[in-house]
Chains A and B, each alone.
Chain A
Amino acid sequence: MAALMSSAFNGSLETGMRAVFNLHAHFPRAVDLNRLTAMDYLIVRTSVLDGPADLHPPTPIMSPVTQVRRKTVQSAVALMMSRALVEQVVDESGILFQAGDNAEFFVSALQTPYLRQLYERAEWLASFFQDYTDDGFDNLMRNLLSNWVSEFQDEASGPA
């Protein structure tokens, strides 16, 4: 059954949760799916931007910006939108997403130590990308990508 096969990790709920934190920290700014997908990864790997310590321990991962993650983010966002945690905004640049009406309630309600740290990182990310244009963001991601490739190659060949 589909339910048994799916893991709790990086499912729609967890990914959606991360998206809500990011969008909440960015409010009132709206971001597109690309940025959202990238930030879904970055929020738990803030050290690559010389930010706070990584929330997740290093694991051999596929490219941070894969189609799988993108799809997951997409589904997660749809799920969040059903509870008014995320609001879809359409403008001339495409589909953007913004924190929904219930986002404030949701974010302040989540208090486990892990979630508190998640919140801090979301805040830090938002402030980091505050002045980044779309081009600037893309450039950054491109640079990080090439580093990630070599990093993942090292990690992939290292001990589990």
Chain B
Amino acid sequence: MTYSGFQIRHLSFHGSEKEPAVVSFQFGLNVVYGASDTGKSYIVEAIDFMLGGKGPLPDIPQAKGYDRVLLAIVFDDGSETTLLRSMAGGQFQAFEGLHTSIPDGEGSTLSEIHNERDETNLSSFLLSKIGLAGKRIRKNAKDETQALSFRNLARLAIVNEEEIIQKRSPLSDGNYTANTANTSVFTMLLTGIDDIALLSRKSTSTEEQKRQAQIDLLDQLITDAQKRITTISGSRDELSDQEERLTRAMDNRAEQLAFTEERFKSISTKRRSIIQRLETNDDRYTEIATLLDRFKLLRDHYVSDYERLLGIRQAGSFFSVLDQEICPTCGALPDHHDPSAVCHGDVSVTVAAAEAEMQKIETRQTELATTIAALNAEAQSIQKSFPNLRKSLSELSSEIEKVVSPDLRKQRATYKELADKGANVREALGLFANLSDLTNRKATLERQNEGGSADATSNNRLTSTVVAPFAERVQSVLLEWGFPGVEHVHFDTNAKDLIVSGKARTSYGKGLRAITQSAFTISLLQYCADNDLPHPGIVVLDSPLLSYREPDGADDDLRETNLNANFYRYLLGLESDRQAIIVENMDPPSDVELGDRVIHFSGMADEDRFGLFPH
């Protein structure tokens, strides 16, 4: 960073049928004084306009017919540029060299709007000449930055007759949203450091914000988890112990339970088999009863058949005794009759058959008797077995129902209780684990955020440390000028303004406000130049000595003092690399030798120069 201020050489106005109105300046002090309405203030407006001011220029009658302005500038590197602009505003044409008449040719176009992406604009052009190209200044509390425009500097160097008496900080332009930016510009000029480092801070602030959002969410989850944990009785360690104990108890119970279940199973199996046997026996008993019924019926049959056969045999034997008569069927005599003829039937055969049948029946009867006896015996033994089986069954049933089942139920219930308790304990432990996990994550994110903000070294703020040497400079300037009663000047970083001997600058009358504003502006140039810090290199002030013309009451009246002479003498001592253009109504005091540094606008036709524009 170095100081490389520029200087204005000529300001000229041109119109197609008009004689150019030219005013020229040199290094150091330049004074333009004279009557009202001679265009003195117009000069200040025009300089501002030609250094990028919005325009259009005020419509004064003297300017009628003039449509273009030229501003010839000499830069610190020796280069010379003349800027051409229409008095209505718009773009600039830049020409090499110093011109007081419209140059031929095209010149290069410079846009009147600062554009950080495209250098073909006046602001970038001027900034690069004074060494402040590409700078950024903080524009709001979120540390967002904007590109530095020459206009930010112009307002600290050029002060018109309204601004010079404004009851506000020299840093303010009346638009409070620009306050941060304006303060940043001032800080940058004093420190030589711009706010480009805030760029990284801006992008991390998005990440910081994301992390902060995560931190906030985690906070909520942590609060929820803590709430749930308060419903748990017992600390984390107590719960861990409990879990261990429960697990061991469960293992114990599991063994017992297995044993009881085994017992239950074996008794159940025995019982089932007894029930089956009872059923089988019952079925068999019923089957036997049915069989016996049938066999008894059969036995009756055998008996009755036997009786019949007995009858047949007897009948047969008596029949044989009787004499045979003539066969009525075939009419044959006994001797000639075939005894085996069917019409007779062989009685003896029948009797023989009867006897054979009877024998068979006897055999069958014996067999049947045996079978019946066996069945009876079986039925009896089955019957005998019932009481025992039923007794065993009831014993086993009662054992199961009264002992084993309840035991089993109890043990299962206990086991389940333990299992449930275990589950609860584990759930509670889970909550603790969850809480510590959330807390850890929050801590990690917080550390990341703190780390981020620790890296933001660029905290270029307007502190009293930064501004103290500047305030000292203002103090020495005011002392040199003989400002009444000045003892100590310091800069209030809150009000962003000077406190002169304990009094706020803005509480002075407008005359003293003008002086102190001028002191501020001039001190800024001096401070930067002397400390090799960038500055445009010029100050342009309209009516700094207002208190000599229109004082605001007795306190504001400096007419009895030497301040004006001291003022001019001070400015005469400016170094050659700096320029001051002072526009005043009052004549400079006669005891100050201004020589050719003074331009007089007489306002009268034949005396000196009439005014800015020819009469």
Residue numbers of A with Cβ under 8 A of B are: 2-4, 6-9, 11-14, 17, 55-57, 59, 75-76, 78-79, 81-85, 88, 102, 105-106, 109-115, 118, 159-160
Contact B300 A57 (CB under 8 A): yes
* Contact A112 B324, CB 8 Å, known A6-B350, A13-B316, A75-B345: no
A135 to B354, CA, bound (A): 38
Given the complex, which residues of A lie within 8 Å of B323, measured CB to CB?
Answer: 83-84
Contact B314 A112 (CB under 8 A): yes
Contact A78 B310 (CB under 8 A): no
Q: Which residue of the partner chain A has the closest CB to B330?
A: A78
Contact B311 A114 (CB under 8 A): yes
Given the complex, which residues of A lie within 8 Å of B351, measured CB to CB?
Answer: 8, 13
Count A-B pairs with CB separation below 8 Å. Answer: 116
A55 to B311, CA, bound (A): 13
Contact B318 A78 (CB under 8 A): no
* Contact A109 B318, CB 8 Å, known A3-B349, A81-B325, A82-B325: yes
A118 to B308, CA, bound (A): 10
Residue numbers of B with Cβ under 8 A of A are: 294, 297, 300-301, 304-305, 307-312, 314-316, 318-319, 322-329, 340, 342-347, 349-354, 357
Given the complex, which residues of A lie within 8 Å of B326, measured CB to CB?
Answer: 82
Contact B322 A102 (CB under 8 A): yes
Apart from A78-B327, A110-B318: 15 A-B pairs, beta carbons within 8 A: A8-B312, A9-B312, A12-B345, A13-B350, A75-B343, A78-B328, A78-B329, A79-B343, A79-B344, A84-B325, A106-B322, A109-B314, A114-B307, A114-B310, A115-B311
* Contact A82 B327, CB 8 Å, known A75-B342, A106-B318, A115-B314: yes
A83 to B311, CA, bound (A): 18
- A–B pairs, 22, beta carbons within 8 Å: A2-B342, A3-B346, A7-B353, A8-B312, A9-B305, A11-B350, A17-B311, A75-B343, A79-B343, A79-B344, A79-B347, A82-B324, A82-B326, A83-B322, A83-B325, A84-B322, A85-B319, A106-B315, A109-B318, A112-B307, A113-B307, A114-B304
Contact A81 B316 (CB under 8 A): no
Given the complex, which residues of B lie within 8 Å of A102, measured CB to CB?
Answer: 322
Given the complex, which residues of B lie within 8 Å of A8, measured CB to CB?
Answer: 309, 312, 350-351, 353-354, 357
A76 to B304, CA, bound (A): 22
Rounded to whole Å, the gap between the CB of A98 and the closest CB of chain B is 13
Rounded to whole Å, the gap between the CB of B242 and the closest CB of chain A is 75
Given the complex, which residues of A lie within 8 Å of B311, measured CB to CB?
Answer: 14, 17, 110, 112, 114-115, 118
Given the complex, which residues of A lie within 8 Å of B318, measured CB to CB?
Answer: 106, 109-110
Rounded to whole Å, the gap between the CB of B61 and the closest CB of chain A is 147
A79 to B349, CA, bound (A): 14
Contact A78 B353 (CB under 8 A): no
Contact B328 A82 (CB under 8 A): yes
A84 to B322, CA, bound (A): 8
Given the complex, which residues of A lie within 8 Å of B352, measured CB to CB?
Answer: 3
Contact B357 A13 (CB under 8 A): no
A109 to B318, CA, bound (A): 8
Contact A13 B319 (CB under 8 A): yes
Given the complex, which residues of A lie within 8 Å of B346, measured CB to CB?
Answer: 3
A13 to B301, CA, bound (A): 20
Checking B300, B315, B353 against A3 with a beta-carbon cut-off of 8 angstroms, the contacting residue is B353
A160 to B297, CA, bound (A): 9
Contact A79 B353 (CB under 8 A): no
A7 to B350, CA, bound (A): 7
Given the complex, which residues of B lie within 8 Å of A84, measured CB to CB?
Answer: 322-323, 325
Checking B305, B315, B328, B342 against A110 with a beta-carbon cut-off of 8 angstroms, the contacting residue is B315
Given the complex, which residues of B lie within 8 Å of A3, measured CB to CB?
Answer: 346, 349, 352-353
Contact B350 A85 (CB under 8 A): no
Rounded to whole Å, the gap between the CB of B368 and the closest CB of chain A is 15
Nearest 6 pairs of A and B residues by beta carbon: A114-B307, A8-B354, A12-B345, A83-B322, A3-B349, A8-B353
Given the complex, which residues of B lie within 8 Å of A106, measured CB to CB?
Answer: 315, 318-319, 322
* Contact A115 B315, CB 8 Å, known A13-B345, A85-B322: yes
A102 to B305, CA, bound (A): 27
A9 to B342, CA, bound (A): 16
* Contact A11 B345, CB 8 Å, known A85-B322, A110-B318, A114-B307: yes
